[in-house]
Structure 1
Amino acid sequence: MRDTVITKDMIANPTSHYGNAKASTRHFITQRVTGAINIVFLGFLLFIVVRLAGQDRADIVGVLGAWWVGVPFAVLIGVVAVHMRNGMRDTLEDYMHGSVYRLAMLLNTLFCLLIALAGAGAVLKIVFWG
């Protein structure tokens, strides 16, 4: 990847091309789709939180242990992790450049992957193994 200095003249000139248009479009669509999925799943999450308010551990495991609750909840954790990675990517692109940016993106990706695997794995463990 080349570290090209982007000037105001390049941005103002509609014939200049910089960046990867396909990757930017994919990022834009992914961010919007995961955001919409998060809004839809918000009702499901609120139902679970209200349903489990004041319950003991056995009741929580009983509700999350049902496949029709646990599997969508695990998918929600994965979708939230993808949305979180893309949101942090926007911030990192604004404030970091060069090798520091690449390192920050690697750490961001690994952190989001760790969160997704740990969260979804914990929920799926409850679903399939109690």
Structure 2
Amino acid sequence: MENGADVTLNQLNIFKQFMFLSYSDTCDAYIALDRHEGDSKYSVALGYLAMSQQSQMELIKLQLSIKIDHQEIEKYMTAYADYTIQLKYVITYKDNNTSTLNMTHSSLIKAGNLLMHSFKNGRIFWHRVFSTHRVLFSFSFL
């Protein structure tokens, strides 16, 4: 049976995986708009957006279940929401003026990189451990 610290490590690892999936699929939707021709680009982008939103919903459910709250996570969630709103607008209205989409995409990349950096250097992990009064002596996989 796993102890509390192991469960936290596993949940944070799953959280990181869902975050990466939502991030990479939204970025692929952006690339699809640029690389595909005609109306098919909107269908391809919409497919990536749907996959991304499924991962994002799992990410939100996991965030709520493990009660993780961190500044970089909130920045990512906000950037993700802003970006997907713009992406849906471009897809829905076949908008060729993508300056706002480009800006929100850049913000998403920045927020995603900050969040992944927080995972790599252990800041989010230690924040979660200390906020639940658990101590773990090694987290080498981060």
Give the TM-score normalised by the residue count of structure 1. 0.36
> Which structure's CA Rg is the greater one?
1
Higher relative contact order (CA 8 A, sep 6+): 1
